[in-house]
Amino acid sequence: MAIQFFHNDETIRGDAMIILSLGKNLLLKGPTGAGKTRLAEDMSRELDQPIHSINCSVDVDIESLLGFKTIEYMEGRQEITFIDGPVIRAMKEGAILYIDEINMARPEVLPILNAALDYRRTITNPLTGDVITAEQGFRVIAAINVGYVGTMPMNEALLNRFNVIELGYVSKEALAEILKTQSIQKDESIIDEIAQFHSDLVTMTEQGQISQEASSVRSLIDLADLSTKMPISRACYRAIIDKLDSEQEKKAILNATELQFGMG
């Protein structure tokens, strides 16, 4: 598949590549639907290295990171073996480890990764006593949604091990470009209208009228796709407005929708 992540701020892609090529850890910061996972997948393709992912939540524990013991039957005998988890697999294979929503994990769980994330590139597996040293090519990309409910501030020592790239809003032109490649909507005038609508949403976000999620690229791709099969005003409800809880936000977006598309 071709490169997918696209941003008017070209330093994002370029710097992500520089950071990873130098063997350093990369932290992508940005609201939901801003392209963090897409950028990580592009990097994996460009570096020709597979990705092993962890999705963090309060339930993430040492086992979901490192692996677990299990009993296997070998020629009638029981044997305890260890099934490697994503961290150890990525280290042994020299692959990319993608830690999604790293600030959702309980703060006491992640320090186990500290030695793997610094110059030592090792981990001592407390479940087996093994010391694993990462193969050449092992890299870590983590993603955080800032200000998201349930997130915790990242532990300083952990944060200190990353180089940070913030994914800001894409410009109107960049959004149009993204829609052209990723949406089934091929009508350029509708794409341009959606791109204009996106800049209005961004302005409203910057003024604090609506939350960042409302203007995510993901929702706008949905809007463009749905608009090929239903009136765009209804598509706005499905893709954007009805995802929100706040009546005030809904109303603000409805106004913007009416201004941009009319209410057919």
Q: By CB under 6 A, which span of 33-41, 53-61, 184-192, 242-250 interacts with ligand ATP?
A: 33-41
Size of interface with ligand ATP, in residues (CB under 6 A): 19
CB of 148 to ligand ATP, least distance (A): 8
151 binds ligand ATP (CB under 6 A): no
213 binds ligand ATP (CB under 6 A): no
Q: Which of 66, 170, 202, 223 binds ligand ATP (CB under 6 A)?
A: 170
Picked from Mg ion, ligand ATP, none, the partner binding residue 6 (CB below 5 to 8 A depending on kind) is ligand ATP
Going by C-alpha positions, the residue among 151, 155, 144, 193 that lies closest to residue 172 is: 193
Residue 188 neighbours by CB distance under 10 Å: 11
Q: Which H helix or E strand runs over 74? A: strand 67-74
CB of 34 to ligand ATP, least distance (A): 4
Q: Which of 19, 123, 142, 178 binds ligand ATP (CB under 6 A)?
A: 178
Q: Which residues partner with 27 through β-bridges?
A: 142, 164
Size of interface with Mg ion, in residues (CB under 5 A): 2
169 binds ligand ATP (CB under 6 A): no
CA angle 26/208/168 to nearest 5° reads: 25
Alpha carbon distance, N-terminus to C-terminus of the chain: 37
6 binds ligand ATP (CB under 6 A): yes
Q: Which of 8, 32, 155, 205 binds ligand ATP (CB under 6 A)?
A: 32
CB–CB of 134/116 below 8 Å?
yes
In this structure, what are the phi and psi dihedrals at residue 51, rounded to the nearest 5 degrees?
-110, 135
86 binds ligand ATP (CB under 6 A): no
DSSP for 195-262 reads HHHHHHHHHHHHTTSS-GGGG-HHHHHHHHHHTTTS-HHHHHHHHTGGG---HHHHHHHHHHHHHHH-
Q: Which of 182, 196, 199, 228 binds ligand ATP (CB under 6 A)?
A: 182
Q: Which of 16, 26, 29, 36 binds ligand ATP (CB under 6 A)?
A: 36
DSSP for 149-185 reads TT--PPPHHHHTTEEEEE--PPPHHHHHHHHHHH-S-
Q: Which of 37, 49, 196, 233 binds Mg ion (CB under 5 A)?
A: 37
The Cα 193–Cα 150 span in angstroms is 35
CB of 7 to ligand ATP, least distance (A): 5
145 binds ligand ATP (CB under 6 A): yes
Q: By CB under 5 A, which span of 33-41, 133-141, 190-198, 240-248 interacts with Mg ion?
A: 33-41
User: Given the rule CB under 5 A, which residues bind Mg ion?
Assistant: 36-37
User: Given the rule CB under 6 A, which residues bind ligand ATP?
Assistant: 4-7, 30, 32-38, 145, 170, 178, 182, 217-218, 221
